[in-house]
Structure 1
Amino acid sequence: MTTPNGSTSLLSTLRRIGALAAPYFHSEEKWRARGLLATIVALNLGTVYMLVLNNQWFARFYDALQNKDQAVFWREIVFFCWIAAGYIVIAIFKFYLTQLLQLRWRAWMTRSYLARWMADRTFYRLELARYGQQDGQTPDNPDQRIQEDMQLFTDYTMTLSMGLLNAVVTLVSFIGILWALSGVVSVPLFGSSYTVPGSMVWIALAYCAAGTVITHFIGRPLIGLNFQQQRYEADFRHHLMRVREYSEAIALDRGEQVEHGQLQLRFGSVLKNYLKLIGKQKNLVAFTASFGQASVIFAFIVQAPRFFSGAIQLGQLMQVNSAFGRVQDSLSWFVDNYDRVAVWRATADRLTSFETAMRAHAGAASAVERAPAGGDEGLRVDDLTVALPGGTSLIQNAALMVKPGDSVLLQGPSGSGKSTLFRAFAGIWPFARGRVSMPENAMFIPQRPYVPDGRLRDALAYPQPASEYSDAQLKQALEDALLPDLANRLDDSDAWTQKLSGGEQQRLAIARVLLKKPAWLFADEATSALDAQAEETLYKRLAEGVRSAGGAMVSIAHRASAAAFHDKRWTLVPAPEGAGARYRLEAA
């Protein structure tokens, strides 16, 4: 994956951010979103207006103090209370509406990305491309991008964009005030005297321009480091999840030390990158803190000669200092927010690469021509070539036929492509071409059946709703699959992958078949974890089920005992050197 760096132009970054942000404001929620955004902008303008009133109040209030005018003093105290009350009300509504817009925006983006990630098996193709190292550009940890990066993106987009708007409006509002208050200053240069109007404005511009350039130079590495930090954090979290998922297998293999070492290695990457990150942040904080503290007294130092000469009163001095502070804060927006901008940009880059990958793989369907088998036809495969993600051909130009009533056993060495051939039959393997006529009402049992957490009835009926089946049907399926102890636990909720043994999970997958009664069944090592008696019983029930439905069964199995339940055999054997594929398919 390409790591972003500081050389990428600002315009390019803004284009990427705009491309991520625009769809929501043109979606079915556009009027509500635009209305909320317009209200938030108006409230931000109201905040700036309150600051202008506060700046004007400074002059009157401090002049009243200097003149010891008690009546004006108390009048200005009351006026300040009104300003403060208005500011508080605006701040409350601005916070609430901003958070509400962020929440709705994130919800919409999450729904949109989830829909596209899950549509047309894009999630599966992304994993194939990543683990197959097909292009080196496939994004890692899509779970983090959907869950964390979207939250960061919507949060930072709203916070930073409204902050920038505030800065611009504040600058426009106060630069005129500061210009008028600065007066005209004579500057001697090369023996001549030049008058400079609005001197404090020029000083503020020079001060902040220098600060911005230095900040960018110091903070530039933060962009790439933030990008990598998010990646390392996600990798560490992902491995923690895998340890939890495979806790029993790790415990049985006594692999605690190995996994501990792997976790330490990943966490070491997190810490190593984070140390680099905080080192750069330390330099940035050192400069921005110095820059900010210097600005507190900067205007006083510049305007002190005018005050002590009597050219301006205390109130005007305080007003100049307030206006300079507002202008300086506005011009220093980039300085103050550089580290947040770096995180924002890294997050936008991660989402952009995820977006690009989803678009690239959404249409990356298999080149296999698929058609439903008509009439009494069965499975027909013509000129089928199956390859690995890297391009290596496993099988070339295979031609197969399965008729209703057949029972076929597919065998071959491990890694020869038996499961991949099934994936091509199912239409989910993108690295295949040829023609497949697949009967309707077909069902596949993978090597590792998926058992979702939650109620047992939902795990049994998956992916259909459990409400489509009666309790009697669900219980009968469990009993037929040799799981009578689970028949009375339909409403129990649990992490079934952790609770059930490998054999029980396989029997639960078979229970799904017995519940749904498909005519065509493709079973990939469906009984590998069962004892011989259970295997025989369940194979007979599966065969009876598909035969009574007018279909057939195709199985992958390594054990010789499985041959007794099939009347035909396909075997993958190593192809001769130079054949163009690793294996050839022989039918008997």
Structure 2
Amino acid sequence: MPTQVIQAQPPTNIFSDLAQFWKDIKAIAGPYWYPTEPGKRAFPDVLRAWGMLIMLILLIIALVGVTAFNSFIGRYLVDTLIQEKDYSQFIKILSVNIVGLVVVTFLVGFSKFVRKKIALDWYKWLNNQTLDQYLSNRAYYKINFRADVDNPDQRLSQEIEPVTSSALNFSATLLEKVLEMATFLIIMWSISQQIALILVGYTIVGNLIAVYLNQKLNTINQDGLVFKGEYNYALSHVRNHAESIAFFQGEKQESNIIQRRFNNLIKNIESKISWERGTEIFSRGYQSVIQIFPFLVLAPLYIKDEIDFGQLGQAALASNMFAIALGELINEFGTSGRFSSYVDRLAEFSNALEEVTKEPENVSTIKTIEENHLAFEHVTLQTPNYEQVIVEDLSLSVKAGEGLLIVGPSGRGKSSLLRAIAGLWSAGTGRLVRPPLEQVLFLPQRPYIILGTLREQLLYPYTTRKMSDRELEDVLHQVNLQNLLSRVNGFDTEVPWENILSLGEQQRLAFARLLVTRPSFTILDEATSALDLKNEESLYQQLQEAKTTFISVGHRESLFNYHQWVLELSQDSSWQLVTVQDYQRQKTTQIVPNPPDNAQIKIDDFSNNQSQAEIGVVKFTMEGLSHKEMQALTDYSLGSIRSKASLGKSITANDGFNYYYNKDPKVLKWLRV
């Protein structure tokens, strides 16, 4: 993920922010608490969730009620001990007080348990819903083209649980503290209306200040989530590309990148610490002032014997409890800052997933028809943003059991055609006829290695398929991975495969999946680029023997031996479809008149950025090699040599070079490529 620059946001209206916050809350909480779409949530589950929520509310009401009751018991306890001095009555009231304290203890513990249980159930549901949305309609792929949505993995793994837990904590604390403040305010009203009115005004002013202070904290929390995501991404990036970094000896540069992102995170934390310092000083001072009020107002009344000592103690206790409740409420507003940040990011993520899976409107798309063959009918393929035409008016059909090789300059759209077949890209016009995707196996250049056992690797993506160990061993032998079992402890061992398998072994493992699933159609995107020619030939021969229809993308000349047709894409979006023999003839007949000995002529400019070693060079010597001389360089019979010469096929000799028979009457020799 590229580093994002966090720009200062212009001040926004607090009411519009609040309206957007509640809109996001409704979008996240609505499907769980008020499901309207059929089939999304079972009715018994909804009843169970509401039943637990009602239980939590009743527990909070009971807790506040028993706490208020204990304040009166405390008042009577003081009066009995100091004024009446009745020990037996004191013991009775003390017993009631102890019971009240025990009940409060159980109510606190049980209410927190119910709160966490509701949050856990909600988290499980919300996580599954978001994960389903992420994995459906290939949203996980399409979301990567959205530059405004960073770190989807972090949003899934770290930012869903805080939404549910914070929502329950904030709601429960808000209800509990508001009830406590209202209860103790009533108690204060019964003792002194003056104190009660002062507390009401003081509370309103204090909470307005707290809300204002937390606006800045919300921004700090939002930036903190972004910086933390970027730091985590940098660390995982090093882990995923450890070998490349080691080859380049790029530790210093990687350290600078990680340190830069870590510094952003530290600055954000320092800003948060500084802001919280002021908030905590305000909260503590706010509580302290409240505790002074009853003594300033009631102490003169007690001295004049207008109230008893128990009332003074109860008023002091009520003011103290009111101050504590108000302080916790203010702190909860600070917590709600983090909560609103999580809500904002989750809502943004959910909306982005919904948008990328919508069918585009008022734009042309390639129509896909599912049939048991593969064909392009007047297809013009464009990039997803419709800014560039990749190939124009493409029409071709791949016959069953044949192979099509796609070649062309690098970046010209060869892999894009494969994306169109897979349904990943659909911008353009025309019709694409293809079999159901369940019958197609895609083999990319960098094979996908799952987190699982060797058995699951071989059976992927149909891991429920049943195959014996003996059958799987035969498959490994066919792809020259028979020694793999000796490196791990059986088929059911899970190890970090990407670390212990070379790229070539990973590509052979991908071919093993092909032999296991035996699809009717196979798409190979440079799937043998890391293999030696012998392994490549063995794998393609098995592919041909399986009568599989396959399309390959590649630059290696050896691939011509295994395909019947070549689709060449050009820089100007044009294309040509020719047989392999005609394509090779087109390239090798581009010979200058009377070429000098050892002249070098390019066969195909596959890439503007590739070296001669990568694209291949034909070296012509007028003497060349005869059929017998060619036989001496290969393991083929003389008849096979002549047959390949007549068919225009190239041969890879034992010296590692490819040779092509030039049928020009002036040459009639095998020439080395």
Q: Would the TM-score normalized by the shorter structure come out above 0.5?
A: yes
Kindly provide the amino acid, as one letter, of the partner of residue 541 in structure 1. Answer: Q
Structure 2 unaligned blocks of 5 or more = 1-5, 36-40, 579-673
Asked if 1:40 is matched to 2:56, the reply is yes
Asked if 1:222 is matched to 2:217, the reply is yes
Distance of aligned partners of 1:531 and 1:107 in 2 relative to their CA distance in 1, 3 Å threshold: same
Kindly provide the amino acid, as one letter, of the partner of residue 125 in structure 1. Answer: K
Is the contact made by 1:406 and 1:553 (CA closer than 8 Å) also made in structure 2? yes
Is the contact made by 2:177 and 2:329 (CA closer than 8 Å) also made in structure 1? no
Q: 1:473 aligns with which of 435, 448, 471?
A: 471
- CA shift, 1:477, in A, is 1.6
Is the contact made by 2:375 and 2:434 (CA closer than 8 Å) also made in structure 1? yes
Asked if 1:168 is matched to 2:178, the reply is yes
Counterpart for residue 152 of structure 1: 162
Distance of aligned partners of 1:277 and 1:400 in 2 relative to their CA distance in 1, 3 Å threshold: farther
Kindly provide the amino acid, as one letter, of the partner of residue 455 in structure 2. Answer: R
- CA shift, 1:391, in A, is 2.8
Distance 2:287 2:430 in 1: 68
Q: 1:447 aligns with which of 445, 448, 454?
A: 445
Distance 2:371 2:182 in 1: 71
Q: 2:549 aligns with which of 552, 559, 578?
A: 552
Which secondary structure does the structure 1 equivalent of 2:483 belong to?
A: helix
- CA shift, 1:325, in A, is 3.4
Q: 1:110 aligns with which of 127, 130, 144?
A: 127
Which secondary structure does the structure 1 equivalent of 2:101 belong to?
A: helix
The number of residues matched between the two structures is: 553
Kindly provide the amino acid, as one letter, of the partner of residue 15 in structure 1. Answer: K
Asked if 1:7 is matched to 2:2, the reply is no
Which secondary structure does the structure 2 equivalent of 1:493 belong to?
A: coil
Distance of aligned partners of 1:421 and 1:8 in 2 relative to their CA distance in 1, 3 Å threshold: farther
Counterpart for residue 632 of structure 2: none
What do the CA deviations read for 1:182-201 (whole angstroms, capped 9, x no partner)? 1xxxxxxxxxxxxxxx2112
Kindly provide the amino acid, as one letter, of the partner of residue 454 in structure 2. Answer: L
Distance 2:273 2:392 in 1: 55
Distance 1:328 1:293 in 2: 8
Asked if 1:123 is matched to 2:140, the reply is yes
Is the contact made by 1:62 and 1:314 (CA closer than 8 Å) also made in structure 2? yes
- CA shift, 1:389, in A, is 4.0
Asked if 1:70 is matched to 2:83, the reply is no
Which secondary structure does the structure 1 equivalent of 2:172 belong to?
A: helix
- CA shift, 1:570, in A, is 1.1
Which residues of 2 match residues 401-420 of structure 1 at below 5 A?
A: 401-420=397-416
- CA shift, 1:334, in A, is 4.3
Counterpart for residue 393 of structure 1: 389
Kindly provide the amino acid, as one letter, of the partner of residue 413 in structure 1. Answer: P
Asked if 1:245 is matched to 2:257, the reply is no
Q: 1:359 aligns with which of 343, 354, 357?
A: 354
- CA shift, 1:424, in A, is 0.6
Is the contact made by 2:199 and 2:290 (CA closer than 8 Å) also made in structure 1? no
Is the contact made by 1:443 and 1:518 (CA closer than 8 Å) also made in structure 2? yes
Distance 1:251 1:487 in 2: 28
Counterpart for residue 16 of structure 1: 24
Counterpart for residue 291 of structure 2: 296
TM-score (norm. length: structure 2): 0.78
Distance 1:86 1:561 in 2: 82
Bigger relative contact order (CA 8 A; separation at least 6): 1
Distance 1:76 1:259 in 2: 70
Structure 1 unaligned blocks of 5 or more = 183-197, 576-582
What do the CA deviations read for 1:362-401 (whole angstroms, capped 9, x no partner)? 2247932111225xx4433432322154733323332232
Kindly provide the amino acid, as one letter, of the partner of residue 409 in structure 2. Answer: P
Distance 1:348 1:281 in 2: 21
Distance 2:290 2:184 in 1: 16
Kindly provide the amino acid, as one letter, of the partner of residue 121 in structure 1. Answer: R
Q: 1:280 aligns with which of 275, 279, 298?
A: 275
Bigger Rg, which one: 2
Kindly provide the amino acid, as one letter, of the partner of residue 553 in structure 2. Answer: I
Is the contact made by 2:384 and 2:425 (CA closer than 8 Å) also made in structure 1? no
Is the contact made by 2:381 and 2:426 (CA closer than 8 Å) also made in structure 1? no
Distance 2:71 2:296 in 1: 19
Distance 1:541 1:233 in 2: 49
Distance of aligned partners of 1:4 and 1:493 in 2 relative to their CA distance in 1, 3 Å threshold: farther
Counterpart for residue 51 of structure 1: 67
- CA shift, 1:432, in A, is 4.4
Kindly provide the amino acid, as one letter, of the partner of residue 306 in structure 2. Answer: A
Asked if 1:571 is matched to 2:568, the reply is yes
Asked if 1:423 is matched to 2:419, the reply is yes
Distance 1:446 1:424 in 2: 14
Kindly provide the amino acid, as one letter, of the partner of residue 543 in structure 1. Answer: Q
